[in-house]
Structures are given as structure tokens and as C-alpha cells.
Amino acid sequence: MNAMDAPTDAQGMHGLMAELFPHVRSITGPGLRATLDVLGQHLPLRQTHVPTGTRLFDWTVPDEWVLRSASLTDPSGRRVVDSADHPLHVVSYSEPVRRRVSREELEPHLHSLPEHPDWVPYRTSYYRRTWGFCLTEKQRRGLTADAYDVVVDADLQPGVLSYGEVVLPGSTEEEVLLSAHVCHPGMANDNLSGIAVATWLGRALAERTTRYTYRLVFAPGTIGALAWLHDHLDLLPRVRHGVVLTGLGGPGPLVYKATRRGDAQVDRAAAHVVRRRGGEVRPYSPYGYDERQYNAPGFDLAVGRLSRTPHGEYPEYHTSADDLSFVSPDRLGDAVAALLELVDTLEGGDQRYRSLCPYGEPQLGRRGLYPSVGGTQAEDEVMAMLWVLAYSDDEHSLLDVAERAGVAVPTLRGAAQRLVEAGLLTPLCPSRLTSALPTTKPSA
Ligand code: ZN
């Protein structure tokens, strides 16, 4: 089956997001582990737990945060803000507090969005101890009492940081890294869409025979990616290509952010896939998600990033308006299809062929290669064969042809396969290509 026809079960992905939505995720804690437990029902996922205090390059694993509840109660006993209503209501990593504070003292601990008075913002304070509440601007305007009872019922003490990993072995030890962050609570596009797309992509890859080994990493942002890198330094030379997956269910066409070096194979392959789908390619910048860690000097992995409208460029970003209705199942399904095409492009894009019938165009009709029924699809199939034949000169890879023809690599691969079966082409593996080249070595 062609990769683009692969069933992507968009409703299933949206269902997984709905299941994961209520868990109060952070960079540590039970909500993160519960999320990994759910993913383990879909994929052979292994969890790693890194103790508080572990040094990870320039970072240290912080205390684990376990939230039970957080609320603001007015003097009449009315709860005016409650984390049970929405996980974004409490600043992630708020330290425990239980006391009455004046309205004035409360003020610097409140976060709202005057420009979007019905939305709750997302705030964190992982590495600086404080507490805080996020609320709608309307709720904030209603806080007219002189004092409030503040409760953050939480533990902030030594524990673990957890990440999940799935290894889908290929026929070689060369790897493709697919990474999604798993630390955001109460939002859908950031980061549940990346998690759902990575999970469905992993499920599809598990059914396939691949050349590369595919490794899916589900880790909390920054510190989790660094924990994975720290644990896998020996593996890194085997990572050939990688993509960070995030923000794939929101509005807008696909956006590929290139690797730091900008000229990696994954950059070329992803640019081809994304541009054909009306998407956009952007250069690397040191701001964003975990591509910052993977690409950093020292690791220098060729890891790009695939999203739709990137973080910070849509108003719902990091607010309660990024809810399940903000994410469309169709866009999730389209993202998986694009990623499967990228996989096929990485797997087979460097394949070259030699024509066994050069000196003019071979007679396709005589070999039954002209479809008996016409139509657009039949024309496309013939065109794909003509493109492959035209460049089966030992030199041009399928991706070279794909870029010139504006045709997907999997389509060209199918055409090449038909031509091989008809005895018109032979595939060249890199070693055969080398042996076929003229050698300067004197013959014995
Ligand atoms: Zn985010």
C-alpha cells in the first residue's frame, strides 16, 4: 500500500488526546507517568526514571511536583479559583502554601490575559520557587474582597523525572529519532497533538519492514530531552535523522523547521514533502522545542521540527483556548500521512537505478505498462515511470527525481518497482554503484 493511503484513524488520535487531556502533566509527577502509562497501551514503551539531583550537563533534575489541589477561597467560603475546574488554574510547580493573604499580597501571584478575558493562561515556575494562580481576566476583576485563603496542596520534594521511549527495530542499526514533549497540562495542540501523532506514526511503523530503526522519545521539555541525551551518548552516532513533533492539530499548513546545519538529508526530504503539501520551510533558530537540545554543539544531531502554525504565532497558544475543539482530527491524520511520506522518502529517497534499456524511451505499451483504462491516476502512473526512466542513469537518486518531477518519493518508488519487474531497470545499492564507477586503480 502506498504510504499516503495508510489508514491514519484521525478519530482514534483525537480520542487518545481526550483520554490524556485531564491528566495534570508537568516536567515530573504522577500526571506525566499516567500519560506514559496510557501511551504504553498503544506502543511497546519503556519508562526511565531519573532521580532528583541528577546532573544532566548544565542542568539538574529538580524536585518532583505532586499536586493534589489548588484553590483561592473568599472570606465567605466561596471557592473562586479551583484547579479541579481546569489544570491551568495553578502555576505549574507552585510550592505548597496554605494561608490567608491580603488582596494586595495576592496580586503578583495572579496571571490573566486582559486581551482575552475568557481564557486562562499557562504559566510555569520549574526552577524558581514560588506559587501562583492563572485565571480569566473576568475572574480576576471579580476578586474584590480584602483577603483570600490560598491553598496549594502539593509536595515538592525529591523524586524522579520520567521519560518514555519506544524502539522499533529496522534492518540496520542506523536510527531515526522522533521526539515529542509530554509536560504540558490542560492543552490540546501543545502538546497532546504531537503525542498523538507520534503514537499513531509509531503504530504504523511497527507494522512495517524498515531499513532504519525508529526510536520514539516522549520526554518532558528541555530537561527530559537532556535526560534522554545523557542516557544515550553512545547511541548518538547512529542517529541519522530526526524530527521533533509538536503543534500538528491546530490551524495552518505544515511548517518544517530545518536542522541547525540546515543541509541535512532530513532537511531536503522534509522540504520536499512539506512544500508539495503547500507547507512552509523555515531555517533553524535557537528558540523553540527540544530541537534546541538535539542540535546543540556536542550532540549536533540532524533533528528538524514539524508543526503547523508554530508556537507563539496563534493567539490560543499556551492558553485554555487551546482545547480539544481547537484541534481537528483531519489535520492530525494529514500530519501522520505527511510523516509516513517523510519516512518513505528517508527510507528510499537515496535509491538509484540503472536503465537496462537505454538509447531512447523503451516501449511501455509492448510490456503492458500503459494502463488499459485512462484517467488522471493512470496518467500520473505513466508520468512517474517516464520520470524514473529519464533519470535511471546511475547518478540520480529517487529524491533527485522527486524534486524535479514534483512527485512523492513513494509514487516514484512504486513506478520504479514496476519497471524493475518489467526488466527495464535495476536498482543500485551504494556498494554496487561504487563498483560500477570507473576506477583509477591500475588493473593487475
Ligand atoms: Zn508549550
Tens of pLDDT, residue by residue over 36-50, are: 999 999 999 999 999
The neighbourhood of ligand 1, an ion, using CB within 5 A, equals 190
- Ligand 1 center to 181 CA (angstroms): 9
Per-residue pLDDT averaged across 255-270, rounded? 98
User: 327 CA to middle of ligand 1, Å?
Assistant: 15
The per-residue pLDDT for 284 is: 98
Q: Give Cα 210 to chain centroid, integer Å.
A: 19
Residue 301 CA to ligand 1 center (angstroms) comes to 22
Look over the chain and give the mean of its residue pLDDT values, rounded to a whole number: 94
Going by pLDDT thresholds of 50, 70 and 90, the confidence category of residue 430 is low
Task: Kindly give the distance from the C-alpha atom of residue 269 to the centroid of ligand 1, in angstroms, as a whole number.
Answer: 26
Which three three-digit cell numbers place residue 258?
A: 530545518
Task: Quickly state the pLDDT bin for 360 (edges 50, 70, 90).
Answer: very high
- The mean per-residue pLDDT over the stretch 6-15 comes to 79
Phi and psi (nearest 5°) for 346? -70, -40
Residue 279 has pLDDT above 90, yes or no: yes
Bigger pLDDT: 434 vs 268: 268
Q: Please tell me the predicted confidence (pLDDT) of residue 371.
A: 77
CA distance 170 to 339: 17
Residue 372 is predicted with a pLDDT of 73
3-state secondary structure 197-257: HHHHHHHHHHCCCCCCEEEEEEECCCHHHHHHHHHCCCCHHHEEEEEEECCCCCCCCCEEE
Over residues 67-74, the mean pLDDT reads 98
Count Cβ neighbours within 10 Å for each residue of 50-69 and write b for 16 or more, e otherwise.
Answer: beeeeebeeeebbbbbbbee
How far is ligand 1, taken at its centre, from the CA of residue 15, in Å?
21
Find the 225 Cα to ligand 1 centroid distance in Å: 14
Q: How many Å apart are CA 58 and CA 378, to the nearest integer?
A: 57
**Nearest-angstrom CA–CA distance, 88 and 187:** 8
CA of 32 to the centre of ligand 1 (A): 15
Q: Give the pLDDT confidence of 125-181 residue by residue, as tens digits.
A: 999 999 999 999 999 999 999 999 999 999 999 999 999 999 999 999 999 999 999
Say what the pLDDT of residue 8 is: 60
Backbone φ and ψ of 230, nearest 5°: -60, -40
> What pLDDT is stored for residue 389 in this prediction?
97
C-beta of residue 19 within 8 angstroms of C-beta of residue 177: no
* Residue 151 burial (CB count, 10 A): 20
**pTM recorded for the entire structure:** 0.93
Residue owning grid cell 518508488: 413
**CA–CA separation, 34 and 23 (whole Å):** 7
The Å distance, Cα 191 to ligand 1 centre, comes to: 7
pLDDT band at 350 (very low <50, low <70, confident <90, very high): very high
Q: What angle do CA 15, 19, 25 make, to 5 degrees?
A: 135
